[in-house]
Homo-oligomer: A and B are copies of this chain.
Amino acid sequence: MSDTTIKNMEEFAVVSGISRPTLSKYFNDPESVRQSTKAKIEAALELHAYRPNMYAMNQNRRSTRNIGIIVPFLADPFFAEIARNIENLVINEGYRPILLSSHGDPRQEVENLISLRDIKPAGVLLAPLGRASNIAEVGELCSEFPTVLFDCNIESLNHAFVGHNNTQATDIMVDYLVRTGEPPVYFEMKKPPNPNANKRRLSYINSMERHGLEPSIFSVDGESWNFEEIGYSRGKELISSKDITNGTVLFTNDRLAIGFLAAAYEMGFRVGRGNGCALRVAGHDNHPYSRFTCPALTTVSHDYDAISRTSVMRLFDLLENREGSNPTDEQLFPGKLIMRDSA
């Protein structure tokens, strides 16, 4: 590497012997110039470290290569994993992911949407908070930039969406539980932050009725994203009051189940499907920690890979051809039963 510091494209044009407009072309797409000049440029690049100024580039570009990614709660390993997947896919497309978390707070979500506008993203991948989301703001964003919703749909927007088939997933779980033991009662939050919970509850009810069984639902208080805490404290109450002492409990999501398992353990109730187990417990999501609960949690997994891959793919469809694949399509991927020791 040489000692001369190149501070702009003009200077790099001099040392590389390539004109600035051609360099500009190269940096926007290395394949758009002749092989021989590409080679020259890259040779010069080896000698004189230079990178175009991102702000100057994006100022004039019709479109930046930024892709906004908003998830509702990054401290949840579930979303952290999905975000990580999506980030990598976006990078592989030669774009620049900007990851933002709403931290479970609708105001933060709106803040994030505003931040995104500053960044003038080429497109955005948005997993909305759901029930609490500011639908008007989200709708505006969707019409402002090419956007794909994932994980949680806002149906009134009638916008491109890819996610998990909550109905089918709950269904196979109920089937499994009914087939292998006591039919499940259902444990959920009265006001779930995420509307997927509604789909899951309905699916539970339908499945139970299809089996000729009476649905039974515990709707507990709690509004935040502290699911483990809610599962733990409400679970303890229900066990104390003898509302739950045996049988099978199906939880809206793994995190509630994780909290409940802690409560059951603490109160001396053995969970599992073996002899001497009072309770069976099942979750939903295949949370990264569900393998390490005591006992390991039986759950339904999302098709993480298909969902993230398809979200990104559909976004780039939008970017390249706005008329392309039906932009209001909802695309769902089936869940997969993960049998472990808890049920």
Does the CB pair A258–B75 fall under 8 Å?
Answer: no
Establish whether residues B53 and A228, one from each chain, have CB atoms under 8 Å apart when the complex forms: no
Q: Does B262 contact A51, Cβ atoms closer than 8 Å? A: no
Main secondary structure of the interface of A (DSSP, over half): helix
User: Does B294 contact A232, Cβ atoms closer than 8 Å?
Assistant: no
B265 contacts A295, CB within 8 Å?
yes
A292 touches B259 (CB 8 A): yes
The answer to whether the Cβ of A101 comes within 8 Å of any Cβ in the partner chain is yes
A225 to chain B, nearest CB (A): 12
Chain B residue nearest to A258 (CB atoms) is B292
Nearest-Cβ distance from residue A127 to partner chain B, whole angstroms: 15
Given A53-B59, A55-B120: A228 in contact with B289 (beta carbons within 8 A) = yes
Does A341 have its Cβ within 8 Å of any Cβ on chain B? Answer: yes
Bound Cα distance from A266 to B77, whole angstroms: 23
The docked-state distance in angstroms from the alpha carbon of A56 to that of B228 is 45
A22 at the interface (CB under 8 A from B): no
> Are A265 and B294 closer than 8 Å at their CB atoms?
yes
A322 contacts chain B at the CB level, 8 A cutoff:
no
- Which B residues lie within 8 Å of A262 (CB)? 291-294, 296
A214 CB–B CB distance under 8 Å: no
Interface residues of A in 91-139 (CB under 8 A from B): 96, 98-99, 101, 103, 115, 117-120
- 13 A-B contact pairs sorted by A residue (CB < 8 Å): A55-B56, A55-B58, A55-B120, A74-B80, A74-B83, A232-B291, A259-B292, A261-B292, A262-B292, A262-B296, A265-B294, A265-B295, A266-B341
What residues of chain A have their CB less than 8 Å away from a CB belonging to chain B? 51, 53-56, 58-59, 74-77, 80-81, 83-84, 96, 98-99, 101, 103, 115, 117-120, 228-229, 232, 258-259, 261-262, 265-266, 288-289, 291-296, 341
